[in-house]
């Protein structure tokens, strides 16, 4: 999606309001794929002035009840997304379209705020921390795991030191064969 500057939007709106060119000719003149965007800008400008052409820097969170009220108004009056947005002093009519899709798919539950859940108040404690809370058996298992990792590392280091080119060639082939498998899916 192309983002247009506020100056560009204002220029097109003023040109539409002042001149003989209509929406289709303006869209063609400025290489836009459709006239609908210009229509929305003109309507937003008429409803809100220059403020209607600004991109919002901060996302506003709407309650589920507000979303339901907006959708109910739109259904009762048969208003378009743009008219509904203007009625409720919203600058982005595409939000209403998203709400409608979510409502039709999941009901009122689909209108709940999305996003990441808030962080927990206390960070979770790492159970692998050696603070004495592990049983003796768990401590020994952890030590065994670390020793196995160390042995594997030392084996690879020794193989590399003995013949660096052969080691690198072997791993290069493995990497290429794995990438071909991923590409074929």
3-state secondary structure of 75: helix
C-beta separation of 53 from 10 below 8 A: yes
pLDDT of residue 5: 83
Q: How many CA atoms lie within 13 A of 141 on its CB side?
A: 6
DSSP result, 94-117 = HHHHHHHHHHHHHGGGGGS--SPP
Measured CA distances, 140 to 46, 147, 152, 154 (Å): 74, 10, 18, 21
Q: How far apart are CA 181 and CA 179, in angstroms?
A: 5
pLDDT of residue 185: 46
The CA-CA-CA angle for residues 177, 158, 150, to 5°, reads 90
pLDDT of residue 134: 81
The pTM assigned to this predicted structure is: 0.47
C-beta separation of 87 from 112 below 8 A: no
Q: How far apart are CA 105 and CA 145, in angstroms?
A: 49
User: For the chain, which ranges sit under pLDDT 70?
Assistant: 1-2, 55-59, 114-120, 122-132, 167-185
Element (H, E) at 159: helix 136-162
């Amino acid at each position: 999606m192309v983002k247009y500057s506020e100056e560009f939007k204002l220029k097109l709106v003023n040109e539409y309001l002042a001149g003989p060119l209509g929406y289709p000719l303006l869209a063609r003149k400025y290489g836009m794929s459709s006239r609908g965007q210009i229509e929305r800008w003109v309507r937003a400008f008429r409803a809100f002035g220059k403020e209607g052409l600004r991109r919002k820097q901060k996302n506003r969170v709407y309650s589920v009840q507000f979303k339901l009220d907006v959708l109910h108004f739109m259904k009762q009056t048969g208003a378009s997304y743009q008219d509904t947005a203007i009625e409720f002093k919203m600058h982005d009519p595409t939000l209403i379209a998203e709400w409608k899709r979510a409502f039709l798919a999941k009901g009122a539950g689909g209108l709940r705020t999305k996003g990441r859940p808030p962080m927990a108040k206390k960070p979770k404690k790492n159970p692998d921390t050696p603070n004495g809370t592990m049983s003796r058996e768990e401590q020994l298992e952890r030590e065994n795991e670390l020793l196995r990792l160390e042995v594997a590392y030392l084996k690879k280091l020794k193989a590399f030191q003995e013949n660096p080119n052969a080691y690198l060639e072997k791993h290069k082939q493995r990497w290429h064969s794995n990438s071909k498998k991923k590409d074929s899916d």
